[in-house]
Every structure is written in C-alpha cells, then in structure tokens.
Amino acid sequence: MKEERSLSLLQLMVNEGLVPSPEEEENRKTFIEKLKQIVVAWVKRVAWQRPLPKQDIAVSSATLLTYGSYGLGVHGSESDIDALCVGPYFATMDDFFIVLYNMLKSRPEVSEIYCVKDVKVPLMRFVFDGILIDLPFVQLKVLVVPENLDILNPVFLRDIDETGWKSLSRVLANTQICRLVPDLKKFQSMLRCVKFWAKRRGVYGNDLLKFDFDWHNVLEPFPYTKKYAWFLKIFLSASKQDELGDWVGWIKSRFCCLLFKLEEVQGLCDPNPTEYIDVNIADPHVIFYWGLQAGKTNAIDIKSVKDVFWRNISTGYQGPFGKIELSIVKASQVPKSAQFDTLSQKRKKACWKMMDYHQRRIPIYLQHVPQYIVGYVSTNGDPEYPSAGV
C-alpha cells in the first residue's frame, strides 16, 4: 500500500509537469555546464585585461551556483532557473554587466537579454536555449573560485559588500536547507506537493498582492465532517495524568502501523493529527478522529484491527500501559468541539499538541473568538499557554 501511494504520487507529479522527464533533466544539466563554460571564458577575458601575472591568469576561474526551485531539486519541466555568477576578486560588477553581457548577447542560443541594475539584487535576465534565466553576480576576494565551491566555507565569505551578501543570501539559504533536512528526497516530494497545491489554490508567486485577496479561504480548516460520513475514533487514556504523555507519545509513534492495517482492510483512511479532549470525561485522555472511505465501513472488523495494533504497541514500551479504544462512529456522532466545517460555526478547537500531559488542565477559550483554546489552567489555578500550535 505504501509503495502504491508513492508510485501514484510520483505519477501525479509527472502528469502535472512537477517532475521533469529524464531527457529534460539531462538537457538542463548540459545547459548549466554550457553556461558555466561561458562564465569561465568571461573571467579569462577579464583577467587578460588586467595587469595580472600569466600564472594568475592561467588559474583564475569562476562558477555558477543554482538556487531557487532548481537549487532545491524541486523544479518542474517548465521552471526557469535562478543561478548566481560567482567571480574572483578582479572581476567587477561593470565587467559583469558589460563584458559578460556582450558575450551572452552574441550567442545564438541567447535571446531577450537585458540588465536589471537599479534593484537590491542587480542581475541579468535572458532566455538561454528556451529557458528563462535570472543571473545575479557576487565577487569573492579570491583568485580561484572552485567549480564545486562550498559557499558555507568562511574562507570564501570574507569582505563581501552589502550587494554581494544580498546576492548570496538565497544561495546560502538553499545550501543550508539541503544540509539540514534529515531526508532530502522526502523534503523535495513534500515541497513539490506544496507548490502544486499553491498553484491550484491560486496563492503561488506574487496573484497574493491583490487587494481583495482573502486569507481565510487559504487557512480555512479542512471540513472533515463534511468530507467523511464515518470516522475511526481513537480514544487513549491513562489512570494518572503524568502517565498520559508517555502513553500517547508511544501510541503516536506507532500510528503508521495502524494506518497500514486500516488501509489493508478498509481502503482510504485520512488521519486527522489534531488531538481533542472531552471536558465531560474525568480521566486523563486524548481523542483522535480519522476519516474513513465511504462504502466499506460496515465491513471493517474493528476488533481484528485493534488486536493487530495492540500486538504492535505491546512490545518495547517500558512505562505503565494505558487504555486504547477503537470504534467506528458517524460524522453526526463527532462532538462539535472536534468539527472543522466553517469558520462561521460555533466550535471549539483543542490545541494542536498538548504541551504537557503531566498535570490536569482545564481549557481556556479566547474571549472574542470562543472556538479557539489559548491555553490551559492547571489544577493549582495557574494559567499555562502553549507556545505553538494553537
């Protein structure tokens, strides 16, 4: 089931042009190499115009660093390319806008070239082999700019002027992101999906500057109780408040096993990650509601699902075991406090993640927007507010 979802997602991305074909990808790599060769030839030409020793001219070099969607590896078949021209200490902005400009303009594969100078990040914009290019420039205080430049190396970041830092900022951000994310391929897939969603929803790019744009349409909670007629209710409880956090954390770490089992016997299952509490229940607890595919709920053997999941969670847990109850409920049976239909409804939303399970808490609702919880009051009467996720 997991492999099928991955394949269907990949196919969707290919069909929508979110992923370039192998041929398109190879063409872009060839294109980048061709542009790099032009930049290196430009630096050699500028070096000959300077009173530099021949040995310095021989080793002088420049390179290109891509950023934006191409640098992050999430470009599509029709994406443009953002690339930074990185030159040595003797190549100036004038050399960039005059010498390199003339070299590019004379190339048969280059068209629609012009300079954008009076901006925070000066750049050249042109079409190269049918691909739109934005090309800013930064000067490093070195003679040799390695082709595989490590832009995070402080040796290359000395004495850069303000304009240079602005040109470098996006490359530095891209590089840091690619190094810090724990799984780059998963991050790239997620980012492609977010970009696709934003384009479909009309919030991609700059269409946000419209005076009549309504953010509520973008941030509208997902209408689970309108989308699904049936739900899996997951009720987790513990005998003591200070045991609930560990028990819930352990169960959540095993949710993927429950999801796979449900999809095996039921089909589509949409896990809502929000945790809810029922103020009418005294025991420490949290509740989850997962949307279920219509038409198959009557065939679910919920006892067998629970038995399989219980065997999974009973191995390896070191703390006191709490309780878990799985049941199938209709949308009409979902409490109003757990319904996300429209912002106009009077509903109450528990925080996205309870910050501390080790104390009994009473929810505090926002005075002017009573459907939102802003924090909890502990049993000693002191208010405690979650730092995120409300």
With b for 16 or more beta-carbon neighbours within 10 A and e for fewer, the 145-177 pattern comes to beeebebeeeebeeebeebbebbbebbeebbee
Tens-digit pLDDT profile for residues 306-327: 888 998 888 888 888 999 999 9
Domain 12-201 fold is Beta Polymerase; domain 2 (3.30.460)
Q: Which of 69-78, 81-90, 144-153, 227-236 has the lowest mean pLDDT?
A: 69-78
The predicted structure's pLDDT at residue 47? 94
Are β-strands 361-365 and 373-378 bridged in parallel, bridged antiparallel, or unpaired? antiparallel
Active site residues: 69, 80, 82, 134, 195, 204
The predicted structure's pLDDT at residue 271? 85
Between 105 and 263, where is the model more confident?
105
* pLDDT bracket for residue 383 (50, 70, 90): very low
Are β-strands 131-139 and 81-87 bridged in parallel, bridged antiparallel, or unpaired? parallel
CATH for 224-338 is 3.30.70.590
* pLDDT bracket for residue 350 (50, 70, 90): very low
**Is residue 232 a contact partner of residue 269, using CB atoms and an 8 Å limit?**
yes
Tens-digit pLDDT profile for residues 178-235: 888 889 988 988 888 888 877 776 666 656 556 666 767 667 777 777 888 889 999 9
The residues spanned by each domain of the chain are 12-201, 224-338
**Is residue 374 a contact partner of residue 385, using CB atoms and an 8 Å limit?**
yes
Q: Of the candidates 308, 319, 302, 312, which has an alpha carbon nearest to the alpha carbon of residue 358?
A: 319
CA distances from 120 to 24, 162, 169 (A): 32, 9, 12
225 CB-contact burial (10 Å; exposed 0-12 / middle 13-18 / buried 19+): buried
Q: Is the pLDDT of residue 251 over 60?
A: yes
* pLDDT bracket for residue 353 (50, 70, 90): very low
Q: Is the pLDDT of residue 340 over 70?
A: no
- Mean pLDDT throughout 18-44? 87
Query: In this structure, what DSSP letter does residue 276 have?
Result: B
**Is residue 126 a contact partner of residue 111, using CB atoms and an 8 Å limit?**
yes
Q: Is the pLDDT of residue 285 over 70?
A: yes
